[in-house]
């Protein structure tokens, strides 16, 4: 079914609660593991309908944040989502405490039950008012970011549509674009500080009510960190500081010389070539057509996937003034259908949608064939391997998108991916500092960010910018507001994607088999175990980062 034809009817909480409780009672009263598994399959169908309806509402709001109907629906779901989560935990507890748990674990898997344990540890009915407030604050932040109206040569642009000017090869145009970009954030700076201050206090209070010292422990549970902990993440960041930061700084120095600059300013952050970054050669329609050709040639599995996505119009990628910023892949479980949301803007980011987001979507499409839906529930550090590795697997077809600048794109992609890891770790450490010290003032948070910049991005020079120069850069990073502690997952995944890059350069077919195996494993095993199974080295292991740096240095031009 095409997305535009998918019916929508509001999920009425009273009706859902009644049916939910009937399923819970039926599950508890089942006389065997086999009977409970049958009830659980009924639960799949019931829950799929609820989730799909809510995802449809979210997408239709995101594609037009000015849509009054779906804006009200979003507000409604902000209210009822915590209540639904409470019902979900009640059902999960029945599973966790089942007298037939051994049978269920055999069918569903140990990972699922570890995740249930974390779910129970991260939620209690008494948190519902705080969770409702948190949802409202997140929605307020996203509306604020989407509300940007930037005047540019007779046009009114949002932040996504301004991006081509932020990476323009003409430095004066970049300067002007960044001034307008910064001016918008300055104009809403007090409100951004207020929203985040309330979010930190809210989340800290949730942690306190659950008996935790601060939000960090609760945040890890909510991110389903089921096989690694804060100390392992800290050790990973330590390796990045020791090995990756010096490597990235070498790349920035080479980029400075390539651009013919005396110093790199913040306005040069996203620019890699004096004649400008490689941009897609075609229209949005031609980019999508090139994507279809690429995936038809990559493998039979990717051909089937992309044809399905195109046939059912499961993309919304054109940038529009009232559209939410950013991009993502989400999933419509009742249809077994991935959906990709993005904002095309004429830069290489458009192609990244066809690679990165399609990596997510391909894995979702493959996993949806597994009848055990707990296997679909991958943790984010695994999910991002699928997306970031697909960016590298797609490089064989770069000419379809970039023509005679294909090699420039490959060089830029490898350099950009390398420079990202220090930044991603900085975002993560910043959040650890903030939630370990929830009483910090907004000014102290901005100061903490600037101090981390010196450690992770010592080359960064904000000159006299009135917003970014005072430590405000992090406020444009939506994950910090929307999904605490998510961002390190990108770094862990990029570390694995680099390993796939090395493997595919040596033997593309063998690398693809390993990748497909990882997609099919989905959440059947724990992250650290799956890496071993598909032949990847864990980012947490001492020496992993150093080994990758050695390989990457030999590839840089």
What is d(CA 496, CA 374) in angstroms, rounded to the nearest whole number?
24
Residue 292 corresponds to which tokens in the numbers above? 């279809």
Q: Which residues pair with 344 in a beta bridge?
A: 318
Query: Which residues in 21-30 are b (16+ Cβ under 10 Å) and which e?
Result: eebbeebeeb
> Does the pLDDT of residue 519 top 60, yes or no?
yes
- The rounded percent of the chain whose pLDDT value lies above 90 is 95
What is d(CA 97, CA 495) in angstroms, rounded to the nearest whole number?
38
**For residue range 440-473, what is the model confidence (pLDDT) as tens digits?**
999 999 999 999 999 999 999 999 899 999 999 9
> Does the pLDDT of residue 557 top 80, yes or no?
no
What is d(CA 23, CA 401) in angstroms, rounded to the nearest whole number?
50
pLDDT value at position 320? 87
Residue 46's contacts (CB-CB under 8 Å, 6 or more residues apart) are 19, 20, 23
Residue 386 corresponds to which tokens in the numbers above? 């699928």
Contact 453, 480 (CB under 8 A): no
Topology (CATH level 3) of domain 147-276+417-482? 1.10.1370
Angle at 200 between CA 196 and CA 204, to 5 degrees: 170
Residue 162 corresponds to which tokens in the numbers above? 């301004």
Polymer length of the chain: 557
Angle at 434 between CA 487 and CA 527, to 5 degrees: 30
> Does the pLDDT of residue 113 top 70, yes or no?
yes
- Mean per-residue pLDDT over the chain, rounded: 96
First to last CA, the chain: 46
> Does the pLDDT of residue 404 top 70, yes or no?
yes
What is d(CA 286, CA 159) in angstroms, rounded to the nearest whole number?
24
- The rounded percent of the chain whose pLDDT value lies above 70 is 100
Full DSSP string of 483-531: STT-THHHHHHHHHHHHHHHHHHH-HHHHHHHHHHHHHHTTSS-HHHHH
Neighbours of 497 (CB within 10 A): 24
User: How far, CA to CA in Å, does 164 sit from each of 91, 268, 269, 349?
Assistant: 48, 13, 13, 10
Taking alpha carbons only, the member of 383, 156, 347 closest to residue 270 is 347
What is d(CA 128, CA 89) in angstroms, rounded to the nearest whole number?
12
pLDDT bin (cut points 50, 70, 90) of residue 345 is confident
What is d(CA 96, CA 292) in angstroms, rounded to the nearest whole number?
43
User: How far, CA to CA in Å, does 14 sit from each of 49, 88, 147, 481, 545?
Assistant: 15, 15, 34, 30, 52
Angle at 465 between CA 463 and CA 471, to 5 degrees: 95
What is d(CA 333, CA 319) in angstroms, rounded to the nearest whole number?
26
pLDDT value at position 383? 96
What is d(CA 526, CA 474) in angstroms, rounded to the nearest whole number?
31
Q: Where are the domains of the chain?
A: 3-134, 147-276+417-482, 284-414+490-533
Taking alpha carbons only, the member of 413, 421, 381, 416 closest to residue 394 is 413
Q: Which residues pair with 378 in a beta bridge?
A: none
**For residue range 30-57, what is the model confidence (pLDDT) as tens digits?**
999 999 999 999 999 999 999 999 999 9
User: How far, CA to CA in Å, does 426 sit from each of 219, 223, 307, 478?
Assistant: 17, 18, 39, 15
Mean pLDDT computed over 179-194: 97
pTM: 0.92
> Does the pLDDT of residue 500 top 60, yes or no?
yes
DSSP 244: I
Residue 102 corresponds to which tokens in the numbers above? 């051994």
């Amino acid at each position: 079914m095409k997305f535009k034809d998918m019916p929508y009817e509001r999920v009425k909480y009273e009706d859902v609660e009644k049916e939910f409780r009937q399923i819970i009672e039926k599950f508890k009263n089942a006389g065997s593991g086999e009977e409970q598994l049958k009830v659980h399959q009924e639960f799949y169908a019931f829950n799929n309908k609820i989730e799909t309806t809510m995802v449809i509402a979210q997408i239709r709001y995101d594609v037009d944040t000015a849509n009054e109907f779906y804006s009200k629906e979003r507000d409604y779901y902000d209210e009822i989502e915590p209540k639904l989560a409470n019902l979900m935990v009640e059902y999960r507890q029945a599973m966790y405490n089942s007298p037939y748990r051994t049978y269920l674990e055999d069918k569903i898997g140990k990972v699922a039950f570890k995740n249930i344990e974390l779910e129970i540890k991260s939620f209690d009915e008494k948190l519902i008012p705080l969770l409702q407030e948190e949802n409202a604050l997140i929605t307020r932040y996203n509306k604020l970011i989407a509300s940007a109206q930037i005047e540019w040569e007779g046009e009114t642009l949002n932040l996504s549509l301004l991006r081509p000017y932020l990476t323009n090869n003409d430095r004066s145009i970049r300067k002007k674009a960044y001034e307008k970009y910064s001016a918008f954030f300055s104009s809403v700076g007090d409100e951004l500080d207020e929203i985040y201050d309330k979010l930190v206090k809210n989340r800290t209070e949730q942690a306190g009510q659950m008996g935790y010292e601060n939000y960090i422990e609760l945040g890890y549970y909510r991110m389903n960190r089921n096989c690694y902990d804060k100390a392992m993440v800290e050790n990973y960041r330590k390796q990045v500081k020791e090995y990756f930061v010096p490597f990235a700084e070498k790349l920035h120095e080479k980029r400075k010389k390539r651009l013919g600059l005396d110093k790199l300013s913040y306005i040069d952050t996203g620019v890699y070539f004096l004649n400008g970054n490689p941009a897609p050669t075609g229209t949005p329609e031609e980019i999508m057509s090139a994507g279809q050709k690429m995936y038809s040639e990559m493998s039979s599995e990717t051909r089937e996937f992309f044809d399905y996505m195109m046939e059912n119009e499961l993309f919304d990628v054109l940038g529009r003034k009232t559209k939410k910023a950013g991009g993502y892949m989400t999933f419509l479980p009742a249809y077994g259908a991935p959906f990709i949301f993005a904002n095309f803007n004429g830069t290489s980011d458009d192609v990244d949608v066809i690679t990165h987001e399609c990596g997510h979507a391909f894995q979702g499409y493959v996993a949806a064939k597994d009848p055990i839906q707990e296997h679909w529930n991958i943790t984010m550090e695994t999910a991002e391997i699928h997306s970031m590795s697909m960016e590298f697997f797609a490089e064989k077809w770069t000419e379809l998108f970039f023509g005679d600048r294909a090699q420039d794109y490959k060089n830029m992609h490898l350099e950009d991916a390398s420079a990202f890891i220090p930044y991603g770790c900085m975002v993560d450490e910043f959040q650890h500092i903030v939630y370990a010290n929830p009483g910090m003032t907004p000014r102290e948070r901005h100061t903490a960010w600037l101090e981390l910049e010196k450690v992770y991005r010592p080359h960064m020079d904000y000159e006299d910018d009135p917003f970014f120069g005072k430590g405000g850069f992090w406020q444009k990073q939506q994950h910090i507001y929307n999904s605490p502690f998510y961002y390190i997952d990108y770094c862990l995944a990029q570390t694995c994607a680099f390993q796939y890059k090395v493997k595919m350069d040596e033997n593309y077919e063998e690398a693809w088999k390993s990748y497909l195996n990882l997609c099919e494993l989905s959440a059947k095993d724990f992250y650290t175990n799956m890496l071993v199974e598909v032949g990847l080295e864990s980012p947490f292991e001492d020496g992993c980062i150093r080994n990758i740096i050695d390989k990457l240095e030999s590839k840089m031009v």
